[in-house]
Amino acid sequence: MNLHEHQAKELLGSLGVPVQKGRVAYNAEQAVEAAHYAIEEGSNLLILKAQIHAGGRGKGVIHNPETNEPITYGDKELRGVKVLPVEGQENVLHEVWEIARRMLGNKLVTVQTGSEGKIVNRMLIAEGVDIEKEFYCSILLDRATSRDIIMVSTEGGVEIETVAEETPEKIIKETVDPGVGLQAFQARQLAFGLGLEGKAFKSFLKFIDALYNAYMELDASMMEINPLVLTPDGDIIAVDSKVSIDDNALYRHKDVEEMRDESEEDPLEVEAGKHDLNYIKLDGNVGCMVNGAGLAMATMDIIKLAGGEPANFLDVGGGASVERVAAAFEVMMSDPSVKAVLINIFGGIVRCDRVANGIIQAMGTVDVTVPVIVRLQGTNAEEAREILENSDLQFSVAMTLQNAADKVTEALEAIEEGEVAVMDLAMAAAEEVVRPIDDDDDDFDDDDDDFDDDFEEIDEVEVLDDDEEIEEIEFDDDDFDFDDDFDDDDDDDDFDDEL
């Protein structure tokens, strides 16, 4: 769970970490009150910061969400961070009001949000800090080594990714065993790496010790302070902060869980979380529903190899019930970018018949307008296939993972090329009914395995117009060539499955 900057500072400050002072505002009036309080506290600078879950706010631009036009203040585009000097500015509170009015309710577009941006619902009015030098500091979990890593750098105030790429030697790392904790010699190594001495050296030792203790106390998975500021007085202060809390530990931190801002999260991910589903939205067009993270990744890989793009990661878990499967299907179908669905279940702990019933339950309540491919293997797989086949719902059953991926890709290609739509339009043109002339002809036998032969044998058809006059239309064999659309070697007996 990600926290806003003002929330992170509030938590860190309560745990003994020196942080920049400030107050949050949800409207222009509250922003003016917060600014007035900061001025009375003696601040000579006001920093107005838009609060969203994304980086690059200082370079980001506020936009009107309806027109997508940049919002201006004065003769310049309004950024996500605005610094206002207090001394000699009689109208500074009016400026705060004007900026807050333009910032709140509009969207902030940064390099991390993309062009869609994020709506600014709150802002932080922070007090100015005298800066002598800026540093970078972060603590995060290294899953490869099952250890915590503390990273510091003298290059503060810039993207750490840029530093890692251009000047990696300026990043100092210390690996911490969580069972032992941060050792004094490790803290000193970090301080030496930053070139600190005297009071600044001692201030940093206290800071990093408090920060690591807060990291452990909050069950955080990441803490980033950028910039970490050294003041002329030798104090170390966190000016900006990003904190992520391990979702699996939120039951131990009810007060932190109440800070969750669902407006900053993907609505589908929020809905999935209510049903204990592991769902992550991606940029593709093939919805995936599986059980198990490993099978999910394998399914996404095989879809990409077959030419498709996964639209999500969705793991229903090992003990999925009918209700959970139905909820998962509804979440997946709520994504407008999904053009096809692949359900791939291996029945170990979870029973395939439960999954089948969940699919049927969900498809009965959700308007399904895309092809659905189902592959069920394992416990009660045969019963599950019978349940699906006996339903009145339209879907295609695959036996192998490769076969399932191929079916999804074929369906997407048919949609993109408009083959199905064109064929339907041609057959329905002028509301004419087309049938073979020979009444004894068995060309359209439902049990015929080869649909291509049915059309190749039709040389003449009669068209019944509204005035009942009959005319004959001559067709060449090449006029109806479905070889490109359907595979002659396909083992499926049901033409509906091919569509």
C-alpha to C-alpha distance for 322 and 124, rounded to whole angstroms: 45
Structure tokens at 130: 């005298």
Q: For residue 345, give the nearest of 401, 267, 418, 287 by alpha carbon.
A: 401
pLDDT score recorded for residue 467: 52
pLDDT score recorded for residue 388: 86
C-alpha to C-alpha distance for 232 and 210, rounded to whole angstroms: 21
pLDDT score recorded for residue 460: 47
- For 20-127, CATH gives 3.30.1490.20
Map out the domains of the chain as residue ranges.
Answer: 20-127, 133-246, 269-417, 420-498
pLDDT score recorded for residue 476: 53
Under DSSP, is residue 312 helix (H, G, I), strand (E, B) or coil?
A: strand
CA end-to-end distance (rounded Å), the chain: 42
Question: Average pLDDT for consecutive 10-residue bins of the chain (499 residues)?
Answer: 95 96 96 95 93 91 94 93 87 95 95 90 95 95 92 86 86 94 96 95 97 97 95 95 93 93 86 86 89 88 85 82 83 89 85 86 81 88 87 82 83 71 48 45 49 48 50 51 48 48
pLDDT score recorded for residue 486: 44
C-alpha to C-alpha distance for 97 and 34, rounded to whole angstroms: 11
pLDDT score recorded for residue 265: 85
pLDDT score recorded for residue 393: 78
pLDDT score recorded for residue 424: 54
Classify domain 133-246 at the CATH superfamily level: ATP-grasp fold, B domain (3.30.470.20)
C-alpha to C-alpha distance for 396 and 388, rounded to whole angstroms: 10
- For 269-417, CATH gives 3.40.50.261
State pTM to two decimals: 0.71
- Show which residues are catalytic: 136, 224
What are the angstrom distances between the C-alpha of 349 and each of 145, 327, 345, 370?
A: 30, 19, 11, 29
Contacts of 97 (CB under 8 A, 6+ apart): 28, 29, 31, 32
The answer to whether 20-127 and 269-417 have equal CATH topology is no
pLDDT score recorded for residue 432: 44
| Residue with the two structure tokens 């900053």 | 264
Specify whether the CB–CB gap between 200 and 210 falls below 8 A: no
